[in-house]
Structure 1
Amino acid sequence: MTGYYDYVLGLIPVALIGVTASLTLVGLSVTSALPFGAVAAGTVMAHAMFVRNPVASDAPSERSFDGDAGERSAVGGSAAGGSSAGTAD
């Protein structure tokens, strides 16, 4: 199943090469036509990143841990026990 971003990945080189080749056939030199192709490819990428940004609608929300296990305590030590104060026994 092809989606929007599959088409974008195919359209980036098509835009770069196609616009450059079209402008070269019209009479522009390759050195002058290449920046126009790069702008066209950049526009496709910018549209994919900023206009139709890849946001997962089915992404799971952040899961909380069971209790405070794995979280740091207020004094800087781990919740699993022990302190990081460096006391000698």
Structure 2
Amino acid sequence: MTGYYDLVLGLIPLTLLGLSGSLSMAGVTITSAVTVAATVGLLIVGHALFVNAPVGQEATAPAADDASASPQVGPVNAD
């Protein structure tokens, strides 16, 4: 099954090659075309990282610092 991040990884080179090629064929200079395509690729990566951020195991696992998980122990005196 293709997930969101698989699509993002496929869109990055497709955007860089397809958009820069299309813009250069439309008459835009290659430097400007690659810059615009890289900016769109950067926006795709930014969306994948910050807007639709991946959720790791620490978000689904129970918290280890839960008060009921361990007994209350007083401070240790090192003297």
Higher relative CO (Cα under 8 Å, sequence separation at least 6) belongs to 2
Regarding TM over 0.5, the answer is yes
Unaligned segments of structure 1, at least 5 residues: 77-84
Distance 1:45 1:75 in 2: 50
Cα shift at 1:50 = 1.2
Identity %: 38
Give the TM-score of the pair, scaled to structure 2.
Answer: 0.72
Q: Secondary structure in 1 aligned to 2:60?
A: coil
Unaligned segments of structure 2, at least 5 residues: none
Distance 1:20 1:54 in 2: 28
Q: After TM superposition, where is structure 1 displaced by more than 6 Å over at least 4 residues in a row?
A: none
Normalized per residue, the structure richer in helix is 2
Give the TM-score of the pair, scaled to structure 1.
Answer: 0.65
Q: Secondary structure in 2 aligned to 1:53?
A: coil
Aligned residues: 72
Q: What's the counterpart of residue 3 of structure 1?
A: 3
C-alpha RMSD of matched pairs (Å)? 2.6
| Pairing of 1:6-85 with structure 2 (within 5 A) | 6-56=6-56, 59-63=60-64, 74=76
